[in-house]
Structure 1
Amino acid sequence: MGTVGISFGSATSGAGFDVTSTVNSILAIQQGIETPWKTQLTTLAAQDTAFTQIGTDLATLSTSLSALTNFDGVLAQKLGSSSDENVLAITSASTSAVAGSHTITVTQLAQTSSVYTNEIANKGDTLSGTLTLQVGSGAAQTITLDSTNNTLVSLATAINTGNYGVQASVVTDANGSRLSLVSQTSGAGGQLSTTGSALTDSTTNAAMDISVGQTGQDAKLNVDGIDTTSGSNTVTNAIPGVTFQLLSAPVGAQVQVQITNDNSAIETAMQAVVTAYNTVASDLKTQEGNTSTGAAEPLFGDPTLSLIQDQLSSALFQGAASGSIKGITDLGLEVNESGQLTFTPSTMDAALNANFNDVAGFLQTAGSFGQSFTTTLNQMGNSSTTGAVSLALQQNSTEEAALNTNISNEETLIATQKTALTTELNKANETLQSIPSQLDEVNELYASFTGYNTNTGS
């Protein structure tokens, strides 16, 4: 162990010494005790970063896989197509739809009931009387015109802001203006009646007749041999999970509707799994080597790294077969020499077309590859407190807490010693700085007794 000396030059110079630098020199040895602790903290922090990144990438892999293993994921998605989109267009096919073929004949489109008043030359004319509105089997409601609603525009506003089940507008052309009323319920059930209305143009004293613009009627169609109706041209209940739009009703025209599995979405989801898997594999492989400076990576030789590698590679070959799907190669997946996954979408496409239920079972059935892989990922990552990554981070956290406590305690001790040393050395420094004046006093006393002045030598 080294020693620290105090250098202050001549004891009679009165210059003393630098207390601060002397104290720091003395305590430097004490502070050296903290160096290996701080070095270990730096090492643990680098490991934390590496483990956290691996945990994040494992979570991404798990999320990507869930798109295939969840029952409402991409395997449940459906696509719909129409053989004649001039007659019928598919709007959507939900996850509840079942793949299959349907034959549809449209014999009548749905219509929405509407009425209109006769024209008046000036839409600002004052109106009077009453307007009675009834939609379908609903209750009739009568509007009595007064100063707040006695023009075409104000009456239309009153109807639209009220709860009448009718949309009103003022239509103006070269012949004048009229009030147009359209039921907000399509089909026969939304038939609009204005029976009992008595409107008058008070400016011209002319009665305002109301005419039928369009009669409400239901759409009529035959789906797979079954006659059915719809109050709207947007049909949602004819094929479970499928919504389609009726666009025309040509006589005798049959439309073929195909509901299919969304192979493209499934293959895209599988490619996302492959990409996420390869990211994790790359993370692990990187930690087996050296950094750009030649130093070992933070997790080099760490047993947790080997554990994750073994579990990840083994997970690719776990889980029960499902019919014709015996393993991941039947889905177009293979592991290359570098440990990376490769994917051939055409192989999976063929499997989906030939044995869709087997593919779904291989990914979703209890004990299947998909479910086993999910369990393995949960056991490895930091999503579980007992996962390998989580346990490694917890262990590091415990060590870091202990090291920080040691450093904190040592800093407290050093601070106490610094205060004590500073006090003692300040006193010593004051003594040294006072020596010249004390010597002068001795010389003066000596001269007074002997007559000899030590400063002048006479």
Structure 2
Amino acid sequence: MAIQFSGLASGMDTDSIVKQLMNLERAPITRMQGDQTWLSNKLTAYKDFDTKLKGLLDNVRTLASESQYNQYKATAASGDFFSTSASENALANTSYQVEVVSLAQVQKRYTAGFSSNTEQTFGTGELVFTVDGVDHAITIDETNNSLTGIMQAINDADIGVQSAIINDGSENPYRLTLTGDNVATAFTLDSSGLTGGSGQTLGALSESQAASQAHIRVDNIDIYGDNNAITDAIPGVTLDLIKAEVGTTTKVDITLSNDAIKTNINSFISAYNEVVSFVTGQSTFGDDTPGVLGGDSGLANIKRRLQNMLTTNIAAGAGVTSLSQLGLETQSDGQLSLDATRLSAAIDTDPDSLITLLAGNGDDIEGIGTMMQDYLSSLTSPTDGLLAGRKKSIETNLARIDKQITLTESRLEKREETLRMQFSAMEQLVSTMNSQSSFLSSQLQSLENLWNYKK
């Protein structure tokens, strides 16, 4: 690009004049960029709303699922001997007397003590483990014939026996310990095959603990297990054994877990209120600064549709037929509140009609949770839901504006080039006229000097 000296002939700051003119010419681009920002903010708001709708949908799916109402709790009179947990297969309103006779134990054996776990070496050859009647040969050579090397070789063999080294603090403190993987694992070790090298063997093993099954009595019936988690003694209940004490029984009561129902309903209310709060925040009602989605009537329609579903009466018999009977109330701002006392009373008094109200009966009655689930699933559909439709429209407009900005930028580049050429031509013309003026002035001065001389 040629070097331009702005205003040398005219004395005007033509570069500044061109920049100011171009700033005026760029006003449409500034407006279009503002439109882009507004559209991008709208898309972000729609995505936020979609996230809140999906959160409500997740909670509604729980309300519409009958399995959530089949949650039980197993309560032990004492936590000293075992802990309890119950599944949906438990039997409500039952109780059992449980006695822990003995805990499950795996077989444990150990070697005599040795002076070092790394420096003292043993013979080379084969260690032969017999595990549950099957022989397993483990090769020991000069690379792994220390106590640590033998331990690692046993663990790497993956034969159902784990090895470790303990230090008992004696003169020869290092002992190799061997532990079966479970109570059914029985093993022996033959180290006589270590005949090479130093020829030293591990010696005979001593047993510190024999393998035995867990033993409990449920209502005086003997039950055994291969570990300390007993899952089939009480239907739908797991007993995690902690301590045994023969002759001591602990009562276990199985009841319906009302806490799970309350938790799920409270989670639903929280998710519903987030949706309502978002819609209200976008509205112009009572607020001179509406949200970016304030002009979208679809949001208000969604709010009204959800509110109408909340007030639906379900023909579930003479029991609970509306959410208001569960203690749910709509506040002046459209959000829900809960009377926990009324909810507890409804659960305790008529749980069957409560389930029908929320989840339906799987036949001819559609629950409120099911209604909302269908509606919210359509709203959040990735193909034809609210966000999908609004996103497509917004992205089309953004692309259109991008194209307009590109075309306008191209036109303005040419416009600026034209202006600079015009001002440059003007400067050249002014420069030429200045030169002619100087020449004429010089000639007139010469004539005047000549005239004065002749006088």
Tell me the TM-score range normalised by the shorter chain.
Answer: 0.7 to 0.9
Shift of 1:229: 2.0
- Matched with 2:4 is none
TM-score by length of 2: 0.75
2:182 partner amino acid? S
Cα deviation per residue 1:64-113 (whole Å; 9 max; x = unaligned)? Answer: 434444577x65655433234333322x4456655453523444443322
Shift of residue 250 of structure 1? 4.0
What residue in structure 1 maps to residue 408 of structure 2? 410
Give the AA of the match of 1:409.
L
CA contact (8 A) 2:191 2:201 kept: no
Q: Distance in 2 between matches of 1:14 and 1:105?
A: 111
Match of 1:426?
A: 424
1:81 aligns with 2:80: no
Indicate yes or no: 2:179 matched with 1:186.
no
Deviations 1:345-390 (A, max 9, x none): 3433344445545544544456321122122223445x54433354
Separation in 2, partners of 1:34, 1:158: 74
Write the distance in 2 (CA, Å) between the matches of 1:433 and 1:20.
17
Question: Partner of 1:258 in structure 2?
Answer: 253
Change in Cα spacing, 1:154 to 1:349, as seen in structure 2 (3 Å) is same
For 2:3, the equivalent position in structure 1 comes to: none
Where in structure 2 are the equivalents of 1:96-175 lying within 5 Å? 99=92, 101-103=94-96, 104-117=98-111, 119=112, 132-135=128-131, 137-141=132-136, 155-168=150-163, 169-170=165-166, 172=168
SS in 1 for 2:134: coil
Tell me the amino acid that sits aligned with residue 424 of structure 1: Q
Q: Determine which of 301, 305, 311 is the counterpart of 1:307.
A: 301
Q: TM-score of the superposition, structure 1-length normalised?
A: 0.75
More moved, 361-370 vs 332-341: 361-370
Deviations 1:399-447 (A, max 9, x none): 4443444444333323322222321231122101221211233455667
SS of the residue aligned with 1:140?
Answer: strand
Using the TM superposition, give the Cα deviation of residue 139 of structure 1 relative to its aligned residue in structure 2, in angstroms.
0.6
* 1:172-251 matched pairs, under 5 angstroms: 172=168, 179=175, 181-187=177-183, 189-194=184-189, 208-223=203-218, 227-239=222-234, 241-251=236-246
Size of the aligned set, in residue pairs, is 436
Amino acid at match of 2:130: Q
| CA distance in 2 between partners of 1:19 and 1:89 (Å) | 88
Aligned counterpart, 2:372:
373
Return the offset for 1:126. Answer: 6.9
Task: Identify unmatched segments of 5+ residues in structure 2.
Answer: 1-6
Please, which moves more after superposition, 389-398 or 205-214? 205-214
SS of the residue corresponding to residue 439 of structure 2 reads helix
Cα shift at 1:167: 3.5
Within-5 A mapping of 1:52-67:
52-67=47-62
Which residue of structure 2 lines up, in the alignment, with residue 437 of structure 1? 435
Q: Give the corresponding residue for 1:338.
A: 333
Once the 2 structures are TM-superposed, how far is the Cα of residue 251 of structure 1 from its aligned partner?
A: 4.2
The residue that corresponds to 1:4 in the other structure is none
CA distance 1:23–1:319, change in 2 (3 Å)? farther
Assess if the C-alpha contact under 8 Å between 1:19 and 1:429 holds in 2: no
Q: Is the 8 A contact 2:214 2:227 kept in 1?
A: yes
- On the 8 A contact 1:27/1:418 being kept in 2, the answer is yes
Structure 1 residues 86, 443: closer, same or farther in 2, change over 3 A?
closer
Would you say the 8 A contact 1:317–1:369 is kept in 2? no
Per-residue CA deviations over 1:233-259 (Å, capped at 9, x if unaligned) read 222343455432234454454433334
Cα-to-partner distance string for 1:171-206 (whole Å, 9 max, x where unaligned): 63658658565442433x223345897999x99x99
CA distance in 1, matches of 2:115, 2:19: 100
| RMSD across aligned positions (CA) | 4.5
Q: What is the SS of the residue equivalent to 2:168?
A: strand
